[in-house]
Structure 1
Amino acid sequence: MTDEEKKKHDEMTEIELVIGHVLRIGVITSAVVIIIGLVLALITGETGYPAGTFPTTFATIFQGVAAFKPFAIIMLGLFLLILTPVLRVVVSIYAFAKEGDKLYVWITVIVLVILVFAMWIGYIGK
C-alpha cells in the first residue's frame, strides 16, 4: 500500500468514526432529553398543556422548553432523534467528497434534499 493510499484509508477510517460518534451522541442526547421530559411529567403530574394538545411548531416547542413544560421537552427529544440521521447524511456527503466519489456525493445530496423536503411538507401540513 502506498503512502497516499494509506493516508486516504486513514482519513476514511476517521470519517467513519466521526459518523459513528454523530449517531451515538445524537441518540444518547435525544434519549436523555426525552427521559428528562418523562421524569418532569411524572414529578409534576401534568404535561404543561391542556388535555389532548401538545406543541407542534418549533416556536411552541422552544417556548415550552423555556417554561419547563414536559411535553415540549419530550417533543424536543423527538426532534433531536429525527435530526440525528439527517446529520449522518450531511457527514456522509463530506465523506464522499473527501473520497472524491462524485456520484455518491450527488446521490447523498439528493437524499438530503428529499429528507428536508419531506420534513418541510410534514411541518406545513400539520
Structure 2
Amino acid sequence: MATQKEQQTHTEMAQVEKSIGVILQIGVIVSAIIIGIGLLLLLFTGHSGYPAATFPAHFSTIFRGVIQLKPFAIIMLGLFCLILTPVLRVVVSIYAFAKEHDHLYVIITTVVLIILLFGMVLGYLDI
C-alpha cells in the first residue's frame, strides 16, 4: 500500500505532467496563430516589409518590425514563441523534479536548460 505522502506526490506529478501538456499545446497554438497572422499579412500586402533576401534576426529588430506590422517580423515572432515552448517545458520539468526531490534529474535538466540558453545566446550573437 502506498502511503499518503506517496499518493500526494503521485497526484502532484500527474498535475505537473498535465500542466506541461497544456503549456506545450498553448505554445504551439499561440505560435501557429502568430505565424498565420504574419502569413496572411504577407499575402495581403505582397511584401515582407524588408529588402529582398533579408529578414529580422535579432529581438530588437523583430519587436520593432512587429510594431510596424511587417509580415516577416510577425512570422519570426511566431517562430521565436515556438522555440521558447520546449524551453518552458524544461523549466517546468526542473520544478517537477525538485518537487519530487530527485536531485540527479534536477541537475541533468538544469544542465539541459543551460545548454539551451547558451545556444540561444550564441545564435543571438551570430557566433
TM range (shorter): over 0.9
Percent identity between the two aligned chains? 63
Report the alpha carbon displacement of residue 119 of structure 1 after superposing the two structures with TM.
0.9
Matched, 1:117 2:118: yes
Report the alpha carbon displacement of residue 100 of structure 1 after superposing the two structures with TM.
0.5
Name the counterpart of 1:35. 36
Give the count of matched residue pairs: 126
- Post-superposition CA distance 1:15-64 (Å, at most 9, x none): 00111011111111101100000000001111111111111110010000
Name the counterpart of 1:102. 103
Matched residue type, 1:40? L
Q: CA RMSD in A?
A: 0.8
Matches of 1:14 and 1:52, distance apart in 2: 46
Structure 2 length-normalised TM: 0.97
Structure 1 length-normalised TM: 0.97
Report the alpha carbon displacement of residue 14 of structure 1 after superposing the two structures with TM.
0.3
Matched residue type, 2:49? G
Structure 1, gaps ≥5 residues long: none
Name the counterpart of 2:92. 91
- Post-superposition CA distance 1:73-99 (Å, at most 9, x none): 000000000001100000000000000
Structure 2, gaps ≥5 residues long: none
